[in-house]
Each structure stands twice: as structure tokens, then as C-alpha cells.
Chain A
């Protein structure tokens, strides 16, 4: 069986699109759409990769990322961040928080697939 990817996103149509893309590549896609308990959910489900939206209800993606990085279990977890706010400040904030890869919406499907593949590969190499 493929790798386990957790998608944290609140926009139903985007969830639908990404799930479709990743499933077709053979990954197991799990979703969560609330920011407040996202970090906890990630630790429980132990995914191999997290796709994280920035603007989430309850808690912003940056906060969730920081929380993940500060936790031993998830400190090395590959995180692909997606944002609709295309400002460079957001990229800086994300990198500071320790993001693995940062992408701006709207994205091309191939880019997402490549990014996920790369991240999973690198992660697999390291572990």
C-alpha cells in the first residue's frame, strides 16, 4: 500500500480535487477541515505527509505548523503548505515556521504531485 497523506483544508472543492489527484497516484488520502485540533489529529493519524492550508477556521496554518515543529514526534514531518494569499510575507512566515514546501493557489496539478513525490522520497531517504 502507498503512503499516508493527510490533507488539512476547509474548501470542499479543493479537497475534492487534491484527493482525486493523490488517490490516483496510489496514496492514501485522509482529510481534516478544522484548524483548531489539526495538530492533535495529525499526531494521532501519523501521516507520512501533511498538505496544509493557511487560512483555516479556528487556527491559521502557520500556528499549526509551529505546533508540529515544536513537537518531537512531528518535528521532521514533511509539510506541504498551500495558500491563496499570494504575498511574499506569507512565504517568509512559512519558511520561518519550518515548512518543507510552500505553494501558492491556484497550483498546477503536476506541481502538487511532483512536490508530494519529492517530499515523500526525501523523507523516505532520511528515515
Chain B
């Protein structure tokens, strides 16, 4: 709930920062989702011959890792100083 007396909308800069924060929040969900994809891969006992080779698995897992690190670093840099009002309780 917006407190009475605070504006309902933000100027462009503030709006972008809010979306940065949203991105930070969402990043972890993205990471968890990507890292759980291997659960869908065929395992050795189930589908012989189609099993994913470990090298590919390694590349995938570490690739996701790199991506997360890179995005996280980018977002942290873009966000700059953490604003005082970090929740969407105020203006948007």
C-alpha cells in the first residue's frame, strides 16, 4: 500500500532503478531454473546411448555459472548505491 502523501509514480531514473532491483530479484529464479534443467536430461540407465556426456554437462553448468556471475556483476554495477526505499511500497 502506498502511504498517503507519497507520489504514485517515479521519474524515469527511479523507475529504471526499480526495474534493476526487480532484475536482481528475478536473477536467482532464472539461475535455479537453469540449474535444474539437468533433471530433465536422460540418465544412463534410462536411455543408453543418448546420455549427455559429462563434458557437455560441465560446459552447461559452468556456462550458466559464468552467465549468472556476469549478469549479477552487471546489475550490481548498474544499481550503484542501494536506495533507501527498496520495496514497491512507495511510488512506482
State yes or no: do A and B touch (Cβ within 8 Å).
no
A interface residues (Cβ-Cβ under 8 A, vs B): none
